[in-house]
Amino acid sequence: MMNQITIIGLGLIGGSLGLALSNSKKIPQVVGYDIGLSSIQEAVAKGAVHWGTTGLKLAVEHADAVLLAVPVGQMKKIVQNILPFLKNHCIIFDVGSTKNDLLQELSPMIPPKIYLIGGHPMAGSERAGISGAHPYLFENAIFVLTPQGHSNEQALKTVVELVELVGAKVKMMSPEVHDQIVAGVSHLPYLVAVSLVNTVHELSEELVDAPLLAAGGFRDTTRIAGGDPVMWRDISLSNRDNIIKMIDSFEKHLAEIKNTLEIRDENNLIHTFTQAQKNREQIPITYRGALPEVYELLVTVPDQPGMLSIITGSLGNRSVNISEIEVLQVRENQEGTIRLAFQKKSDLDCALDILLKQGIPVKRR
């Protein structure tokens, strides 16, 4: 394995990769680079990197591999800036969300003894930045690698080992096919979520109670719209042709539903909805996919002092990590409901078992 890996960009993905690699104890030096000193300090404090710097030369000059975890639009400039400082046989491993245009742009810049491998972890969160980083973000997630015909075999083997080290499952794919697929399963859902949120906002200007009724399920449906706008700007422009094709297809299906409603065709509505139900059941559930995933419990608690600390304490004592806590409803002198979210299904299962044994009403969401 390697002696030093440098992560450029200590946001959600870079920070989570750092945490997973550092926790593995297999990489002696995980180094972080970021333009924000506060991000570096938080990454060091969380254990995502052993040390960090705002100096590119210092960050990469001894690196065996450099992980690019910055928005796609920034990668070309970053690569240009680090190339003079890289040692021979260093691997540049980008984890950008689009691949074809990026690799076509970067490949001609790479000298013979530097190796470029493209990748994309199919995992994420609506939380941006190092504060949202989690060591198990990639656990059981598909991690697409997009080697090109001239990719170095040993470099590719090393990257596969790194991906497996963070708990992900490798899937080899051409850059072109990758971009076509993610346009449908990742990029279109983001744009649909954005459109949904903005549509309901317009509705709320006329009907002020709309946000109140949009809580719960609507927030879950549009969770991805909380992603980093700069990142999504770069993704959308980089994969625009494939995304436009997906928008055309989506508009066609939505227009068909609109027409069915206009003519009050009950049978066709049932057919459309049933077909969607069947199609959804065919989506694999073994691996985590492109959209943010979270495992949730709803806990009913009495309105008594210290109940929240009892719940969190009992889970903490069993090393169950809670990623989010949300108080959904509390009525004075009555029961309340708390949402607990977990990054790992194993944490949810353990929490469910602990709380049920304590007689606390709880159910999966």
pLDDT, tens digit, 9 for 90 and up, residues 68-119: 999 898 999 999 999 999 999 999 999 999 999 999 999 999 999 999 999 9
> Residue 193 to residues 200, 256, 262: CA-CA distances in angstroms?
11, 20, 24
pLDDT band at 332; cut points 50, 70, 90: very low
Residue 155 has pLDDT above 90, yes or no: yes
| Residue intervals in the chain for CATH 1.10.3660.10 | 177-281
**Per-residue pLDDT, 340:** 86
- Enter the tokens of residue 290: 């492109």
**Whole-model pTM over 0.85:** no
Q: Count, in order, helices (H) and strands (E) of the chain.
A: 15, 12
Q: Which fold has domain 4-173?
A: Rossmann fold (3.40.50)
Q: Which of 15-19, 170-174, 283-287 has the lowest mean pLDDT?
A: 283-287
Question: Which residues belong to CATH 3.30.70.260 in the chain?
Answer: 295-364
Domain with CATH 3.40.50.720 in the chain: 4-173
Q: What is the CATH number of domain 295-364?
A: 3.30.70.260
> What mean pLDDT value characterizes the chain?
88
Residue 203 burial by CB count (10 A; 0-12/13-18/19+): exposed, middle or buried? Answer: middle
Tokens at 263, concatenated: 């003519």
Structure tokens at 242: 């494939």
Superfamily of domain 177-281: 6-phosphogluconate dehydrogenase C-terminal like domain (1.10.3660.10)
255-290 pLDDT, tens digit each: 999 999 999 999 999 999 999 999 988 876 555 554
